[in-house]
Amino acid sequence: MDLIDPEESCVRDPSALEPEPETDPVDTEECTLSKTPVTEVWPRVFIGNQETAWDRDKLKEMGITHILNAAAENDLLGTVNTGSRYYRGMNITYCGLPSFRHWTKISKYFLPAAKFIYKALRNPTSKVLIHCTQGLSHSATLFLAYLMICHDMMVEEAIDHAIKLRYIKPYFGHLKHLSFLSADLVLQRKLKTNTKLV
């Protein structure tokens, strides 16, 4: 699979980005899905909140084998400080990524997150939990990036898929980065197609 270099950001010039607006462009009253602790959003892929990540019994019951913590920083408000030691003895593969408190940095985690999920799902018995504190923004953003990178979805398709199953609310800045990722992936696929034709 030919993917974006994990060392490169999908954003051309982060200083050119506009700051996140104070009001949310999404009207939450239109959403008919309730905020649930955990939802299966793809076969064997779940998005959840911190309560789900902390509930070892629930994780065993669900058969979770891989955890992608999208809010992994120590002792900071708005993070979920579990780590691989928390899941010791549970046969869970853990990957912790920073909480992205500064929204311009999330794009550098798109590829590592997509690879983690992709590799986990190669085993037909694996189940992946992607979580952050509320299971609405950071975890949802990384899941959308996975769909775009590994399943050739455009950003709109990925969002349409996710919102049919779970209430999600990615930050405006995260959506901007997903749009840049979408444009980069389209360009890569065009270049790949043109190279094959030559």
99-126: per-residue pLDDT in tens?
655 555 889 999 999 999 999 999 999 9
pLDDT above 80 for 147: yes
Tell whether 19 is covered by a domain: no
Tell whether 50 is covered by a domain: yes
Active site residue 132: yes
* Residue-range definition of the domain harbouring residue 135: 34-197
Tell me how crowded residue 197 is: count the other CB atoms within 10 A of its CB: 5
Whole-model pTM: value is 0.80
- Set 31, 95, 132, 150: catalytic member: 132
Question: What 3 state SS string does 76-107 have?
Answer: CCCCCCCCHHHHCCCCCEEEECCCCCCHHHHH
- Whole-number pLDDT of residue 198: 52
**Number of compact structural domains in the chain:** 1
Q: pLDDT band at 197, cuts 50/70/90?
A: low
23 Cβ partners below 8 Å, 6+ apart? none
Q: How far, CA to CA in Å, does 133 sit from each of 14, 54, 70, 139, 185?
A: 25, 11, 8, 9, 29
What does the alpha-carbon distance between residue 198 and residue 186 come to, in Å, rounded to a whole number? 19
Contact between 181 and 152 (Cβ < 8 Å): no
pLDDT tens by residue, 40-92: 999 999 999 999 999 999 999 999 999 999 988 655 555 677 888 999 999 99
pLDDT above 70 for 23: no
- Whole-number pLDDT of residue 7: 39
Tell whether 177 is covered by a domain: yes
What does the alpha-carbon distance between residue 92 and residue 50 come to, in Å, rounded to a whole number? 16
Tell whether 48 is covered by a domain: yes
Tell whether 27 is covered by a domain: no
Q: What is the CATH number of the domain that holds 173?
A: 3.90.190.10
- Whole-number pLDDT of residue 100: 55
Tell whether 29 is covered by a domain: no
Tell whether 69 is covered by a domain: yes
- Whole-number pLDDT of residue 22: 41
Token pair in block for residue 175: 């959506």
pLDDT above 60 for 164: yes
Arithmetic mean of pLDDT over the chain: 82
What does the alpha-carbon distance between residue 13 and residue 120 come to, in Å, rounded to a whole number? 32
Token pair in block for residue 10: 């999908």
Tell whether 12 is covered by a domain: no
